[in-house]
Amino acid sequence: MTVRLTARQAIALVAEDFTELPPPEREPAPDGPLGWHGYDAARARAAERTGEPESVVCGTARVGDTRAVLISFEFGFLGGSLGERTGDRIEAAYVHAREHQLPVVPLIATGGSRMQEGMVALTQLQRVARQSVLTREAGLPQIAVLRDPTTGGGWATLGAGADVVLALPGAQVGFAGSRVRPADADPAAYTAEAQVAAGAADAVVPPQELREVLGRWLRLLTTPSAEPAPPPEPLGARDLPRTGWDAVRRARSPERPRAEAYLDAYFTDRVAISGDRCGGTDPGMLCGFGEHRGRTVAYAAQCGTATRPAGYRTATRLIRLADRLGIPVLTLVDTPGAANDAEAERQGAGAAIAELFAAVAGARTPLTTLLIGEGGSGGALALAAPGNTWATPDSYFSVIAPELAAAILKRPPEEVEATAGQLRLRPQDLAELRLIRTGDQLFPGTGDRQP
Average pLDDT rounded to a whole number, residues 143-153: 96
User: In this predicted structure, what is the pLDDT of residue 441?
Assistant: 56
What gap in Å lies between CA 280 and CA 45, rounded to an integer? 43
3-state secondary structure the chain: CCCCCCHHHHHHHHCEEEEECCCCCCCCCCCCCCCCCCHHHHHHHHHHHHCCCCCEEEEEEEECCEEEEEEEECCCCHHHCECHHHHHHHHHHHHHHHHCCCCEEEEEEECCECHHHHHHHHCHHHHHHHHHHHHHHCCCCEEEEEEEEEEHHHHHHHHCCCCEEEECCCCEEECCCCCCCCCCCCHHHHEHHHHHHCCCCCEECCHHHHHHHHHHHHHHHCCCCCCCCCCCCCCCCCCCCCCHHHHHHHHHCCCCCCHHHHHHHHCCEEEEECCCCCCCCCCCEEEEEEEECCEEEEEEEECCCCECHHHHHHHHHHHHHHHHHCCCEEEEEEECCECCCHHHHHCCHHHHHHHHHHHHHHCCCCEEEEEEEEEEHHHHHCCCCCCCEEECCCCEEECCCHHHHHHHCCCCHHHHHHHHHHCCCCHHHHHHCCCCCECCCCCCCCCCECC
pLDDT at 1 over 80: no
Instruction: For residue 326, report the phi and psi dihedrals to the nearest 5 degrees.
Output: 75, 35
User: In this predicted structure, what is the pLDDT of residue 443?
Assistant: 58
Find out whether 65 and 103 touch, Cβ atoms under 8 Å: no
Average pLDDT rounded to a whole number, residues 72-100: 97
Convert the pLDDT of each residue in 30-39 to its tens digit. 999 999 999 9
Confidence of residue 189 (pLDDT cuts 50, 70, 90): confident
Confidence of residue 325 (pLDDT cuts 50, 70, 90): very high
Strand pairing partners for 16? 62
Convert the pLDDT of each residue in 209-258 to its tens digit. 999 999 999 999 999 999 999 999 999 999 999 999 999 999 999 999 99
User: In this predicted structure, what is the pLDDT of residue 447?
Assistant: 54
User: In this predicted structure, what is the pLDDT of residue 29?
Assistant: 87
Distances (CA, A) of 176 to 84, 112, 395: 21, 9, 48
Average per-residue pLDDT for the chain = 94
Omega of the bond prior to 232 within 30 degrees of 0, cis? Answer: no
What gap in Å lies between CA 451 and CA 449, rounded to an integer? 7
CB proximity list for 399: less than 8 A, separation 6 or greater: 377, 405, 423
User: In this predicted structure, what is the pLDDT of residue 182?
Assistant: 80
Query: 3-class SS at 170?
Result: coil
pLDDT at 445 over 60: no
Q: Which of 104, 126, 101, 100 is nearest to 113 (CA)?
A: 126
Strand pairing partners for 333? 371
pLDDT at 205 over 90: yes
What's this model's pTM, rounded to 2 decimal places?
0.94
Convert the pLDDT of each residue in 373-399 to its tens digit. 999 999 999 999 999 999 999 999 999
Average pLDDT rounded to a whole number, residues 139-143: 98
What gap in Å lies between CA 446 and CA 34, rounded to an integer? 76
Distances (CA, A) of 131 to 88, 97, 206, 432: 11, 10, 29, 50
pLDDT at 188 over 90: no
User: In this predicted structure, what is the pLDDT of residue 450?
Assistant: 60
User: In this predicted structure, what is the pLDDT of residue 444?
Assistant: 54
Average pLDDT rounded to a whole number, residues 173-194: 83
Convert the pLDDT of each residue in 269-322 to its tens digit. 999 999 999 999 999 999 999 999 999 999 999 999 999 999 999 999 999 999
User: In this predicted structure, what is the pLDDT of residue 449?
Assistant: 55
- Helix, strand counts (H, E) of the chain: 17, 15
Average pLDDT rounded to a whole number, residues 349-357: 98
CB proximity list for 340: less than 8 A, separation 6 or greater: 306, 349
